[in-house]
């Protein structure tokens, strides 16, 4: 199976999109029962106004956290696809292909695989800390 950006894009979108849609739908269904939505309905606001101006600002915190975590999970997925040879073309650099190439030299030199693995780990840790900080900042509003 030839690797290419279209194959990677389609596989990532089909894997990740349904769960994101479920999260947005669940948040929206939860938030439509809140008091500020009832207050907007009492003011005489229409459903489009409520959908566009009342609900999205209140979904900001959980969606920011989820998007930051999904960027990390997608990076790990792309690394895994590259490790198994289903990622981008071999000429394009990727953490998964670098780890796979360094795996062959692991008994002699640990540097090629270790640097890529630590980089992937630090990116994931940084995204988790960023998501936590953004979530804490959105709670202060």
| HSE of 92, CA atoms in CB hemisphere, 13 A | 14
Question: Where does residue 138 rank: exposed (0-12), middle (13-18), buried (19+ CB within 10 A)?
Answer: middle
> Whole-angstrom Cα distance, residue 15 to residue 11?
6
**What average pLDDT does the structure give for the chain?**
83
On the question of pLDDT at 140 being above 90, the answer is no
Question: What's the pLDDT band for 34 if we cut at 50, 70, 90?
Answer: very high
pLDDT confidence of residue 3: 56
Closest CA to 96 of 80, 114, 115: 80
Number of domains in the chain: 1
pLDDT confidence of residue 141: 58
Cα 52-57-61 angle, rounded to 5 deg:
140
pLDDT confidence of residue 28: 92
pTM listed for this prediction: 0.70
* Domain around 127: 5-139
On the question of pLDDT at 93 being above 80, the answer is no
Q: Is 2 or 60 the better-scoring residue by pLDDT?
A: 60
């Amino acid at each position: 199976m030839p690797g290419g950006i279209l194959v990677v894009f389609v596989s990532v979108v089909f894997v990740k999109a349904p769960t994101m849609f479920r999260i947005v739908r669940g948040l929206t269904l939860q938030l439509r029962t809140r008091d500020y939505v009832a207050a907007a309905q009492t003011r005489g606001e229409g459903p489009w106004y409520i959908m566009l101006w009342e609900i999205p600002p209140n979904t900001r915190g959980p969606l920011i956290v989820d998007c930051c975590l999904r960027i990390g999970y997608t990076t790990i997925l792309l690394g895994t696809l590259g490790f198994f040879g289903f990622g981008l073309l071999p000429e394009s650099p990727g953490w998964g292909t670098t780890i796979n190439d360094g795996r062959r030299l692991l008994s002699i030199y640990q540097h090629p695989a270790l640097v890529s693995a630590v980089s992937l780990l630090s990116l994931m840790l940084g995204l988790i800390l960023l998501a936590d900080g953004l979530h804490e900042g959105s709670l202060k509003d």
